[in-house]
Structure 1
Amino acid sequence: MTTLWISYQQAQSLVDKYITEPFTRIHLRESEVIMRWLAKHFWEDEEQWWIIGFLHDLDWDITKTDQQNHCVLVQTLLRDAGGTDFLIDTIASHWYDNEMIPALQNKKRTSRIEYSLAAAETLTWLIFATAIIQPEKKLEVVKIESLKSKFKNKWFASRCSRDMILECEKAWVSLDEFLQIGLTSMQNIAWEIGL
């Protein structure tokens, strides 16, 4: 069994230390809950998956104006906190093959958890965008049909990579099921994330 060497309490302390923007905290929480639901779906270790989802953008508030260092700095932060290579590599993988980051440019995702993380954290943006265009601006009114329609509309939330979301299929879950998992998991914390 692979280990992280970082507990959920330690992960929370790291987020408290490095994340200052409320919107980033919301994104981390959204990613965490989708990863947890995926872990349940795949019969994987829920705690590992949700910690990985929760920490995946730990360096974002520091690197958002210097994106060449996003997913590079996080490796140092996690290593200094005692994180394992498995934790560090999995988190860095969500920006693999990114031309903006020379250190990650030629790396490829290869595992179910890597595909799941990349797809899940990207899906949060599509679900959020779908919710805020509703008259009520609430997640509870978003229907799966609407989310599927927005996924197909490349002009809607155009910076949200559909190809990245489709990596769910490399993790052996259909797009329809993945969209439902993401929507349901975020609806379950709607009150917490202000939607």
Structure 2
Amino acid sequence: MTPTREDAFRLLTRYNETESLIKHALAVEGVMRHMARKRGADEEKWGIVGLVHDLDYEKYPERHCAKTEEILQAENWPEEYIRAVVSHGWGICSDVKPESEMEMVLYAVDELTGLVTTSALVRPSRSVMDLTAKSVRKKWKDRRFAAGVDRSIIERGADMLGVELNDLITDTILGMREVADAVGLLGETAD
């Protein structure tokens, strides 16, 4: 079975009700689609993998990645999709090392979307539309800011991909701009 975006979203919302987790999934999907286009890869596949990467996180946080693997296998998803999802937890909750380009991108941008989101929300605009890599890098140095974001994972992901950190941040911002309205980062509008 080749899953559709509708299949992926239905699964996501079956296992997740928390708005912040759904927005995170949409943000990662947006970045994965952007990165796939930029790299000449399958945008639909990369987006779907991004959308379901934290499928099990709300209901089974203690079994993160392992439970998603079980769910996707039961749904007859392709092994390539399953492996990519499981590999994003490498070194944290999974022993599956990211190897394909899609896997490495997911690994690199998952945590980064959280840092970009938090960086956008403290701006006067509360928007990703005017956010720059430079602004995110200023926040990067303050380990108390978005303390839950493991910056070493982002750095390891950038290294795996052979890209500069600023370029990875810029691409993540650009991908998130495409879904800014859906993830609540379009900004404050004047009444």
Verify: 1:61 aligned to 2:50, yes or no.
Answer: no
Query: Conserved in 2, the CA contact under 8 Å of 1:112 and 1:170?
Result: no
Deviation at 1:130, TM superposition (A): 0.4
2:188 corresponding residue in structure 1: none
Calculate percent identity across the aligned residue pairs: 26
Query: Conserved in 1, the CA contact under 8 Å of 2:34 and 2:174?
Result: no
Query: Conserved in 2, the CA contact under 8 Å of 1:109 and 1:115?
Result: yes
2:182 corresponding residue in structure 1: 192
Query: Conserved in 1, the CA contact under 8 Å of 2:104 and 2:161?
Result: yes
Q: Secondary structure of the equivalent of 1:57? A: coil
2:154 corresponding residue in structure 1: 165
Counterpart among 9, 15, 27 of residue 12 in structure 1: 9
Return 165-174 or 73-82, whichever deviates more.
165-174
Per-residue Cα deviation, 1:31-69 (whole angstroms, up to 9, x for no partner): 001011111121111111011000101111112xxx330
Gaps of 5+ in 2: 186-191
Per-residue Cα deviation, 1:8-51 (whole angstroms, up to 9, x for no partner): 12112212322211111100000001011111121111111011
Query: Conserved in 1, the CA contact under 8 Å of 2:13 and 2:22?
Result: no
Scaled by the length of structure 1, what TM-score is found? 0.87
Backbone CA RMSD of aligned residues:
1.7
For residues 82-101 of structure 1, the aligned pairs below 5 Å read 82-98=76-92, 101=93
Q: Secondary structure of the equivalent of 2:125? A: coil
- Larger RCO, structures 1/2 (Cα 8 Å, 6+ apart): 2
Count of aligned pairs between the two proteins: 184
Deviation at 1:92, TM superposition (A): 0.6
Verify: 1:36 aligned to 2:33, yes or no.
Answer: yes
Q: Distance in 2 between matches of 1:82 and 1:41?
A: 29
Counterpart among 19, 33, 51 of residue 48 in structure 2: 51
Counterpart among 69, 80, 85 of residue 74 in structure 2: 80
Deviation at 1:124, TM superposition (A): 0.8
Scaled by the length of structure 2, what TM-score is found? 0.88
Query: Conserved in 2, the CA contact under 8 Å of 1:28 and 1:53?
Result: yes
Q: Distance in 2 between matches of 1:157 and 1:184?
A: 20
